[in-house]
């Protein structure tokens, strides 16, 4: 079971939690830099760079989307740094 938990963390790295929401990305993600926000079986995706904007919402409430956007704004540099760290191979030649 520990192997499975470590495997899931590898393919879905968590950046941080905020108000019960999990901010993460998938290991097979793509540019532009974006973050997934999950809570209670719902998920949204926000572009982070070059600007923060909601790209897709699958069930988050308006209140949760506002909170998520605030958390992304406050942690934008951390999200970008974690993205660059995890996807360094995908960033070769791309300015971010």
- Can you give the pLDDT at residue 40? 96
Residues of the chain with pLDDT under 70: 1-11, 89-96
Phi, psi of 25, deg, nearest 5: -140, 170
Angle formed by the axes of helices 76-86 and 62-74, to 10°? 80
Q: Taking the C-alpha atoms of 52, 54, 60 and 61 in order, what is their torsion angle to the nearest 10 degrees? A: 90
Structure tokens at 59: 């069930």
8: CB partners within 8 A, 6+ apart: none
- Can you give the pLDDT at residue 1? 52
- Can you give the pLDDT at residue 28? 85
Question: Whose CA is closest to 59, among 42, 36, 45, 46?
Answer: 42
Q: What confidence tens digit (pLDDT) does each residue in 75-95 have?
A: 999 999 999 888 886 665 555
């Amino acid at each position: 079971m520990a192997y499975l938990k470590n495997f899931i963390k590898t393919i879905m790295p968590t950046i941080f939690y905020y108000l019960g929401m999990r901010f993460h990305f998938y290991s097979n993600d793509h540019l532009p830099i974006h973050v997934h926000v999950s809570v209670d079986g719902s998920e949204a995706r926000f572009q982070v760079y070059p600007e923060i904007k909601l790209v897709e919402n699958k069930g988050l409430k308006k209140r949760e989307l506002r909170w998520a956007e605030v958390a992304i704004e406050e942690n934008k540099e951390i999200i970008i740094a974690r993205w660059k760290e995890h996807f360094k191979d995908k960033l070769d030649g791309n300015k971010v």
